[in-house]
Amino acid sequence: MSTNASLFSLAAAGATAFALVAAIFVPYGLAWAGDQPLDRALAAAACPKTGETAEKPNFMDVKVALNQDDEYAALESVQFALTEVADGSSYVWHRAHGRLSGVVKPISSFKDTRGSVCRHAVVSLTGLDATKQTEIVACRLPTGIWQLES
């Protein structure tokens, strides 16, 4: 087996994972904290008076960034489902930390003009605050790795 084919397959798999996760969980509206001078009048107005209770913060609005392990988990689930799951069945997976889950549903299988086995599938990824769905076509390389064609 050629090392170029192996490196290409690995690079294609990594790019696929990154594209899937990035397309779904691209953070928007990020705020960057900087060194701002402290406005004591504003701070006093924002803090509750003595004896009053402060409002509880709502942590549901906090956006959680996904890491490289999450990308690998998403890619591994797609690779597993394309290899092991029958057309029309679904493969449901969840990350242990609960921030990411997904469903991979292969729709149909066919052979391309080179004779490689290809599959059409629907991939759905869910984070804490978003769910995105996309359709993919992937063909199996001689190494056994699935490469996205579209």
User: 88-102 pLDDT, tens per residue?
Assistant: 999 999 988 888 999
Q: What is the pLDDT of residue 59?
A: 43
Q: Is residue 118 domain-resident?
A: yes
Higher pLDDT, 12 or 135: 135
Q: Is residue 115 domain-resident?
A: yes
Which domain does 84 fall in, by range?
Answer: 3-27+65-148
Q: Is residue 109 domain-resident?
A: yes
Q: Is residue 22 domain-resident?
A: yes
Q: Is residue 16 domain-resident?
A: yes
**Interval 48-71 mean pLDDT:** 62
Q: Is residue 117 domain-resident?
A: yes
Q: Is residue 57 domain-resident?
A: no
Q: Is residue 55 domain-resident?
A: no
Q: What is the pLDDT of residue 29?
A: 46
Q: What is the pLDDT of residue 128?
A: 78
Q: What is the pLDDT of residue 137?
A: 94
- Helix H, strand E, coil C: the string for the chain is CCHHHHHHHHHHHHHHHHHHHHHHHCCCCCCCCCCCCCCHHHHHHHCCCCCCCCCCCCHHHCCCCCCHHHHHHHHHHHHHHHHHCCCCCCEEEECCCCCCEEEEEEEEEEECCCCCEEEEEEEEEECCCCEEEEEEEEEECCCCCEEECC
Over 50: is that where the pLDDT of 64 sits?
A: yes
Q: What percent of the chain has pLDDT over 90?
A: 41
Q: What is the pTM of this model?
A: 0.58
Q: Indicate the number of domains in the chain.
A: 1
